[in-house]
Amino acid sequence: MNPGDYKVVLAAIDRAGNKTELEKMISIEAAVAPKITYYTDKISENESIYVRGESVYPNAALNLTLKSTYGAVTNYDVLTDPEGKFSFGSEPLQDVGSYEFWASALNQDGSKGPSSARFTVTVEKRLASSLIAGVLKYPEELLWLLFILLTIALIGWYKYIMLKLKYHILEKELEKKKREYIESVVANTKAVSENNSDEEKIKIPRPRKKKI
């Protein structure tokens, strides 16, 4: 039955034909859609999707729908805990692409009720699989790429060696000039010292006074 107010009439008729009726109004409330609170938005092939959510109905059954890129639809039964929370983990997904999923409340007759917002999960190829597939698909292009990378690496290594050699030569020249400068300073200091020593040895005699 659809949500809404309904009048229920109960009638009783005896053998004499007397009829008695009892009327009562009942209300059927619409189911409240569950909410998705967490999900893995990107996984690699052969990994699982993990979803968490909450509902206003504790210990109740929900339906989670998973739709692949190719249109394949899979439905899963999920139960909420005493607090109305639920979690879900799919089987490993092998097809690469986008998957759409959503959770739905269930009506009393078991039919699907209101659904949550829809979310998308991307399943990507693993790096190793992508590399192997690329090698098998483009072998010649890969060889050219390896040749270019190797050439760039060799040129870089050559420049590094030459720069290091140039630095070593400059370092030696600087060390040589430094040593020559120190030797010249020492020689000049020694010459000045010797000149001072010679001047001290030469003494000019003072004239003597004659007695009258």
The span from the CA of 103 to the CA of 34, in Å, is: 6
For residue 7, the one-letter residue type is K
**Which band of pLDDT confidence, cut at 50, 70 and 90, is reported for residue 205?**
low
Is the domain spanning 35-126 CATH 1.10.1740.10? The answer is no
- State the DSSP string of 14-77: -TT--EEEEEEEEEEPPPPPPEEEEE--EEETTB--EEEEE-SSTT-EEEEEEE-TT--EEEEE
Phi, psi of 152 (to 5 degrees): -60, -40
Q: pTM of this prediction?
A: 0.50
Q: What's the chain's Rg over C-alpha atoms?
A: 48
**Could you report the per-residue pLDDT of 72-98, keeping only the tens digit for each?**
999 999 999 999 999 999 999 888 899
**Could you report the per-residue pLDDT of 43-56, keeping only the tens digit for each?**
988 899 999 999 99
Helix H or strand E encompassing 187: helix 139-201
22 to each of 8, 19, 26, 46, how far by Cα in Å? 8, 10, 13, 61
Residue 21 has pLDDT above 70, yes or no: yes
**Could you report the per-residue pLDDT of 131-185, keeping only the tens digit for each?**
555 556 667 777 788 889 999 999 988 888 888 888 888 888 888 888 888 888 8
For residue 200, the one-letter residue type is E
Bridge partners (DSSP) of residue 13 are: 19
User: Angle between the 139-201 and 127-137 helix axes, to the nearest 10 degrees?
Assistant: 110
Closest alpha carbon to 95 in 73, 127, 70: 70
13 to each of 21, 22, 25, 66, how far by Cα in Å? 9, 12, 21, 53
Please list the alpha-helical segments (H only) found in 73-138.
127-137
Q: Is residue 118 within 8 Å of residue 100, measured between CB atoms?
A: yes
The span from the CA of 123 to the CA of 184, in Å, is: 77
69 to each of 94, 122, 143, how far by Cα in Å? 12, 10, 34
Ranges of each domain in the chain: 35-126, 138-192
The span from the CA of 172 to the CA of 163, in Å, is: 14
